[in-house]
A and B are shown apart, each in its own frame.
Chain A
Amino acid sequence: MIPGISIYEILTITTMLFFIGVYGFITRKNLISILISVELILNASVINFVAFNKYLYPDMLHGVLFSIFIIAVTAAETALAVSIIINLYRQISSVEVKDVETMKH
């Protein structure tokens, strides 16, 4: 619990962070940027978990535990995504979404 700061401020920050991530996910043309946007979305939720835990149920640790889970899963996901992107780059020398689209055909 941070003195002088209520849960509302924190939630406002995380909401902004979340929607910045969503915006980036939808508009970015670069695979790496999209990946970073996804990280932003996930981090927003991680902060929410910790904040809810601290402000509403300070004597329990569920939220904190969940945030650790999410960080671990995110790490794995990022590793996977980056390896896919590297492979893609080796194949087509590009990490632009419009070049990857040809895969749908």
Chain B
Amino acid sequence: MNLGYIILIPLIPLAIFLLLGIFNQKIKPSVSGYLCVFGLLFSTMLSFYAAYQYFFESARVNGVYQTFVEKTVWMNFTDTLHIDMGILIDPISVMMLVVVSLVSLMVHVYSRGYMKGDDGYTRFFAFLSLFSFSMYGLVLATNLFQIYIFWELVGVSSYLLIGYYYTRESAVAAAKKAFVVTRFADLGFLIGILIVGYYTGSFDFETLNNPGGSAILNWASTSFMGLSALTWALILIFVGGAGKSAMFPLHIWLPDAMEGPTPVSALIHAATMVVAGIYLVARLFPMYYFVEDGFALRIVAFVGAFSALFAAIIAITQTDIKRVLAFSTMSQLGYMMLALGVSGYQGHEGLGYMASMFHLFTHAIFKALLFLCAGSVIHAVHSNYLKDMGGLRKYMPITNITFLIAALAIAGIPPFAGFWSKDEILAASFEHNKLIYFVGIFVAGLTAFYMFRIYFGIFWGKETKYAETPHESPFSMTFPLVVLALLSLGGGFIPFSEYVTADKAGFEAHIDYPLAAIAVAVGLMGIALAWVFYKKETVLADRFANLFGVFYKWTSDKFYFDEIYLFVARNILFKRVAEPIARFDKKYVDGTMAGIGFKTVWTSQKIKGLQSGKIQDYAFAFISGVVIIALVFIYLWNN
């Protein structure tokens, strides 16, 4: 099977990025927009063709999907340890290709309308292309180092796009925060990679993930502080993944990242880049599962479950609609993590893995849709805050309907896409860990509640007087909304379990009716509660908030995590650690160097008289030297 053309999928956005980046000022905005959209359209078509070819043509041998790798050696350390560059084709990478292409294309189309008239139009599209390239590269990576390189590249493009409005101070601060926090997490990732390389002698996913291979079988060979070294490595790699996927406690950058333009939030901070952490764990899933009987995987499950709950609670109290969506994203990412954490490997045991990937797929679609709808609303009313919105359903019918579809999807109401994937996740966690299941079902209710809170707040609620009458967005913005809404409607009917599973063999997944009924009932309850509170303007919600008093305040201040981090950074790291070190550096390290310099100048000033420039002095020195040497030799000769 020839899959060589897949290399074109990342290379097209790269070429466009270089083109737009180099000729930034010379390209007309309209041209750059079209160039990007058509370039990405081509990539998307290739991705879909690749998916078709992979899943429906010849990739299946005896019911198991084969893995295809094409690579060249890039850096050679030893015969076995080398860094390759290449592409790896297996079910999850093909699935991710489709997700990234689809959302990216929709966001590109949407951005042409949303960013119209902006000064940095071409720059924006150049960065988007850079991001698409890096994300494709990350998805297709064949080994840990390659994934790390592209991991950093998506981090950079995320940084550039969050700080896109660089004249705004908050945007710059948010960009820096996102970069620093994820970099901090990536330190763990890097150390993990090095440990894996040291103990297994390989970076290759194929070698590492082979359940019968030496990497997995010999996990117990070295232990460190009660755990095997490989478990530590996996935990550290998960730290990197948690940083990218905004898992507690490294989540603080994601809400601030909403400073970027809304299409960017939809593409990077909802659908694609933030799922890189989940993708990473899924990529190394056999290792996580088999090493030390899945100790690292249990950590993944609990961190995921806690993040899901934590973020969902905060989301209820936020008033900036983009921030609500950001916390919702974090919560749903926690869902995916916990699904991976409770998954097994063989056949139906691998339900969690499949559910996680399924949820990644559906979530990418409906969360991107939610963000794009939010962008459309913000475009119309020029504000991010719920208090400036209300009654918009009359002015923006398409946005209203599509937002409703997406909200129903995320709330897990059948037959929308989110129902199917969320149901699988709950079923998987029910089988493995009841505690996580209850967290999951509670979060499902919260999700439905906060999502309909903002839905009613935006489109129903109080009649707000607008300075200028809001109007529906242009076709270039509503078209992606409609496409994504249709996918949110139908995406759940894809029989995912036949295509994307942990052991790549495929199985028959069934709806567990009692569990599904509970989940739907909880979702409906959340919606009903939101209906009561926010459908019409009432004081009920405020009164209810007062009931919780301090707790409400804590929640709306995000449990003061930003402040804690600031305190730790400013008062402990800066004052107690960085400042003494800086003083030491200035006084002793710098001082020594400066002292050497001063001494040199001083000495040279003292001896510069020797170089008089008088030929007779030199002659005198020369001749005296000759005479002295002659005397010495004569003396030695005589003895």
Interface residues of A (CB under 8 A from B): 22, 25-27, 34, 97, 101, 104
Complex contact A97–B614 (CB within 8 A): yes
Residues of A within 8 A of B614 (CB): 97, 101
Residues of A within 8 A of B619 (CB): 25-26
Complex contact A104–B613 (CB within 8 A): yes
Residue of B nearest to A103 (CB): B613
Could you tell me how many residues of chain B have their Cβ less than 8 Å away from some Cβ of chain A?
6
Residues of B within 8 A of A25 (CB): 616, 619
Bound complex: CA A101 to CA B616 (Å): 11
What would be 14 A-B contacts, judged by CB atoms less than 8 Å apart? A22-B623, A25-B616, A25-B619, A26-B616, A26-B619, A26-B620, A26-B623, A27-B616, A34-B616, A97-B614, A97-B616, A101-B613, A101-B614, A104-B613
- The 6 tightest CB contacts between A and B, nearest first, are A104-B613, A26-B620, A26-B616, A26-B619, A22-B623, A25-B619
Residue of A nearest to B615 (CB): A97
Residue of A nearest to B614 (CB): A101
Tell me how far the C-beta of B146 lies from the nearest C-beta in chain A, rounded to whole angstroms: 63
Task: Give the one of A22, A26, A27, A97 with max B CB within 10 A.
Answer: A26
B593-622 interface (Cβ within 8 A of A): 613-614, 616, 619-620
Q: Besides A25-B616, A25-B619, A101-B613, 9 other CB < 8 A contacts?
A: A22-B623, A26-B616, A26-B619, A26-B623, A27-B616, A34-B616, A97-B614, A97-B616, A101-B614
Main secondary structure, interface of A, reads helix
Residues of B within 8 A of A104 (CB): 613
Tell me how far the C-beta of A15 lies from the nearest C-beta in chain B, rounded to whole angstroms: 12
Tell me how far the C-beta of B616 lies from the nearest C-beta in chain A, rounded to whole angstroms: 5
Interface residues of B (CB under 8 A from A): 613-614, 616, 619-620, 623
Residues of B within 8 A of A97 (CB): 614, 616
Bound complex: CA A101 to CA B611 (Å): 13
Tell me how far the C-beta of A2 lies from the nearest C-beta in chain B, rounded to whole angstroms: 28
Residues of A within 8 A of B620 (CB): 26
Residue of A nearest to B616 (CB): A26
Bound complex: CA A73 to CA B602 (Å): 46
Bound complex: CA A22 to CA B623 (Å): 8
Bound complex: CA A104 to CA B614 (Å): 9
Tell me how far the C-beta of A103 lies from the nearest C-beta in chain B, rounded to whole angstroms: 9
Bound complex: CA A26 to CA B624 (Å): 11
Bound complex: CA A26 to CA B615 (Å): 9
Residues of A within 8 A of B613 (CB): 101, 104
Tell me how far the C-beta of B337 lies from the nearest C-beta in chain A, rounded to whole angstroms: 77
Bound complex: CA A27 to CA B275 (Å): 88
Bound complex: CA A26 to CA B623 (Å): 10
Bound complex: CA A25 to CA B614 (Å): 12
Residues of A within 8 A of B623 (CB): 22, 26
Residues of B within 8 A of A101 (CB): 613-614
Residues of B within 8 A of A27 (CB): 616
Bound complex: CA A28 to CA B619 (Å): 12
Tell me how far the C-beta of B627 lies from the nearest C-beta in chain A, rounded to whole angstroms: 9
Residue of B nearest to A105 (CB): B613
Residues of B within 8 A of A34 (CB): 616
Residues of A within 8 A of B616 (CB): 25-27, 34, 97
Bound complex: CA A104 to CA B617 (Å): 14
Tell me how far the C-beta of B492 lies from the nearest C-beta in chain A, rounded to whole angstroms: 90
Bound complex: CA A37 to CA B302 (Å): 99
Bound complex: CA A101 to CA B618 (Å): 14
Bound complex: CA A25 to CA B613 (Å): 16
Bound complex: CA A97 to CA B614 (Å): 9
Bound complex: CA A26 to CA B614 (Å): 10
Bound complex: CA A16 to CA B520 (Å): 121
Bound complex: CA A88 to CA B331 (Å): 93
Bound complex: CA A34 to CA B620 (Å): 13
Residue of A nearest to B620 (CB): A26
Bound complex: CA A26 to CA B613 (Å): 14
Bound complex: CA A104 to CA B616 (Å): 14
Bound complex: CA A68 to CA B620 (Å): 29
Tell me how far the C-beta of A78 lies from the nearest C-beta in chain B, rounded to whole angstroms: 17
Bound complex: CA A54 to CA B614 (Å): 40
Bound complex: CA A26 to CA B616 (Å): 5
Tell me how far the C-beta of A23 lies from the nearest C-beta in chain B, rounded to whole angstroms: 10
Tell me how far the C-beta of B618 lies from the nearest C-beta in chain A, rounded to whole angstroms: 10
Bound complex: CA A14 to CA B45 (Å): 101
Tell me how far the C-beta of A96 lies from the nearest C-beta in chain B, rounded to whole angstroms: 12
Residue of A nearest to B613 (CB): A104
Bound complex: CA A104 to CA B613 (Å): 7
Bound complex: CA A59 to CA B613 (Å): 48
Bound complex: CA A25 to CA B615 (Å): 10
Residues of B within 8 A of A26 (CB): 616, 619-620, 623
Bound complex: CA A49 to CA B620 (Å): 25
Bound complex: CA A25 to CA B620 (Å): 9
Tell me how far the C-beta of A59 lies from the nearest C-beta in chain B, rounded to whole angstroms: 31
Bound complex: CA A92 to CA B425 (Å): 102
Bound complex: CA A101 to CA B617 (Å): 12
Bound complex: CA A25 to CA B617 (Å): 10
Residue of A nearest to B618 (CB): A26
Tell me how far the C-beta of A34 lies from the nearest C-beta in chain B, rounded to whole angstroms: 8
Bound complex: CA A34 to CA B614 (Å): 13
Bound complex: CA A100 to CA B462 (Å): 99
Tell me how far the C-beta of A40 lies from the nearest C-beta in chain B, rounded to whole angstroms: 14
Residue of B nearest to A98 (CB): B614
Bound complex: CA A21 to CA B623 (Å): 12
Tell me how far the C-beta of B51 lies from the nearest C-beta in chain A, rounded to whole angstroms: 80
Residue of A nearest to B624 (CB): A26
